[in-house]
Amino acid sequence: MASLRELQASFAAALRDESATCAVLPRENLSIYRNNAAINFRSALASSFPVLRRRVGDDYFRQLAMRYRQRHPSRSGDLHWVGTGFAAFLAEELQGTEYAWLADLARLEWSREEAAVTMTHAAISVDALARFAPEQLEHLVFSLQPSLRLHASDFPIFSIWTANQVDNAPPVDQSMAGECGMVLIRIDGVEVRRLEARVFSYLSALAAGAPLGEAVSIAGLDQPALVHALAFVFQEALVCAVTLKVGQSAH
């Protein structure tokens, strides 16, 4: 008699391929499981990428979901994660086409999904800097909120995302300038926010672990811009911890 593992493997094969044999009755009812698997996958994907679905329409979204599932089947019992590789799949699939911007929109939407299941850490205030000597400030490294995701795109994805928070949104002109911004979890939900290029550049450097001085150079901030950027990261509760870069002596 076939083992349980063999029976499940044959059932799984019959879900992938209608012509595969499987010792169940009535055989035609396997189509219910086949449909359930496809619908559950597509519904989970649609709930993770609502703006993308709205922009491409149900029919094209269904085609994309089917092709994506064939190449990237679910790898977890938790449907939340089926969208993990969707943006990369779209980037490959739509490369060189007029729809290439959809991959960047998918990255933004997926980062919302990641942020939504990431815990918020307590933020520290700017007063934390007072325990360091002035000459140490440039060597400080910030730990930012773990849910913070930063995005830069050649397309106006933040404008597109924002415009599509209502039904029947008019299309945004994709030829507009590229945009950058951030995504993070707040107490009342996930925030999606476009950022000014230099603040974005500064935040990106900090997120990559650059000390304050180096982040200022990378972002090309003058004194007023630095004051503005520093005020921004503390006012927005983005900093969870501050440490002196290894190799710099503590005060």
Partner 1 sequence: MRALERARADYPLSLHGVGLGLGSADGVDRGHLARVKQAIARFEPALVSEHACWGHSGGEFFNDLLPLPYTDEAVELLARQVGEAQDALGRRLLIENVSAYVAFEHSRLHEWEFLAAVAQESGCGLLLDVNNVYVSSKNLGLDALAFIEGLPVGTVAEIHVAGHARNGAVLVDDHGSHVCEEVWQLYCHATGRFGALPTLIEWDTNIPALSTLVAESQRADRMLGKLRGLAA
Sort strands 189-194 and 179-186 into parallel, antiparallel or unpaired: antiparallel
| Spatial distance between the Cα atoms of 48 and 191, rounded to a whole number of angstroms | 15
The identity of residue 164, as a single letter, is N
Interaction residues for partner 1, span 175-234 (CB under 8 A): 187
Residues 79-118, one symbol each (x = binds partner 1 by CB under 8 A, - = not), give: x--x------------------------------------
User: At 191, is the secondary structure helix, strand, or coil?
Assistant: strand
3 binds partner 1 (CB under 8 A): yes
CB of 27 to partner 1, least distance (A): 7
133 binds partner 1 (CB under 8 A): no
Specify the stretch interacting with partner 1 by CB under 8 A; choose among 28-36, 125-133, 148-156, 170-178: 28-36
Angle at alpha carbon of residue 209, lines to 208 and 211, rounded to 5°? 130
Distances in Å between the Cα of 137 and the Cα atoms of 130, 134, 249 are 9, 6, 12
Considering only residues 20, 62, 74, 226, which one is a binding residue for partner 1 as defined by CB under 8 A? 74
User: At 157, is the secondary structure helix, strand, or coil?
Assistant: helix
Tokens of 242: 């501050």
Question: Which residues of the chain form contacts with partner 1 (CB under 8 A)?
Answer: 1-5, 7-9, 11-12, 15-16, 23-27, 29-30, 32-33, 36-37, 40-41, 44, 73-79, 82, 187
